[in-house]
Structure 1
Amino acid sequence: MTILPHNAPFTRFADWFAEAQASEPNDPNAMALATADADGAPSLRVVLLKAWDERGFVFYTNLTSQKGREIAANPRVHLNFHWKSLQRQVRIGGTAALVIEAEADAYFATRPRESQLGAWASLQSAPLPDRATFEARLADYDRQFPDVVPRPPHWSGWRVMPARIEYWQARDGRWHEREAYLRAGDGWTHGLVYP
């Protein structure tokens, strides 16, 4: 394997992500997020990438949700982008850490009011007796915050700091191209992986 500088896999991601934004009909920033509970049982759901740079890949959520609790107990997670129109995947394994408060506040302020109110009203992942209960909670918070909606203390972002990034490109005959980057100190090792 070759040792590459710290930005090598992110330069590749920038190129592929730009192509996905130009070609994917819906949510090119959608990524599957895998977590595990205390017994090691995996859980998978789709979240949206909201920021990324050489520090990692950021998504936002309710910290008391199932994924929030699981990440707090075990920060080792895996992400997967699947861009069907390009026949590509990017697999990212790493460790999640909370973004700083100012970063979470800044992103929360950009969200539509309805999404901001939903962050307060939803007891994400908890049982909901009926839709009317949720709608009543939304109305309550709408009255409570007639102007600016502050970020709830239970809502923030996680940054996944990658230890491994794999780029997968489909090829005929299932002879796919796979390239893996593995963190090595301040840089990365890089090599091919059999299809």
Structure 2
Amino acid sequence: MATEDHPTPICGVIELVGQPFADERGSFLNVFRAQEPSFDQAWGQRPIAQVNISRSEAVATVRGLHLQAPPHGEAKLVRCLRGRVWDVAVDLRPDSATYGQWHAVELSPATASALLIPEGCAHGFQVLEPGSELLYLHSGAWVPEAETGIRFNDPRLAIPWPLPPVGLSERDLALPLLESLP
């Protein structure tokens, strides 16, 4: 039931691939175990400050791309509990060699994967199946005035969403473009 970590092209963004135990009764997947080497190396000494569940009903809905601005940055570990999503991390760390780059993975219960998104990287996703649910572990507390992000359709990012995006919130539609970030 170990988890393997798969680094991505963006430093600190890691796909954690679980190996559920399954038998005739069903299955068991360890969502987070601090002492397991893959989790320990990926999450490090960060606290778990909050745990959230997000549910999205409509296929093609896009949520994001969100992050908490410094000094309130937070890491997120995102896992899909139900349905299927295309999960995206965007590097917005000014001093990063991969600033402005993005990486996406498909998350679903079948893949048993999670995506670790470090501080300074924005996160968003597109719903691929109705009623998709995501579980988030956050390393920091929510600070409303630190909420920010980047627009889902930023031409510099050129993210090829799998489906034509729908269901964006007014807040997400008003997020800035990469070129206007400080």
What TM-score results when the alignment is normalised by the length of structure 2?
A: 0.22
More relative contact order, 1 or 2 (CA 8 Å, 6+ apart): 2
Structure 1 length-normalised TM: 0.21
Structure number with greater Rg is 1
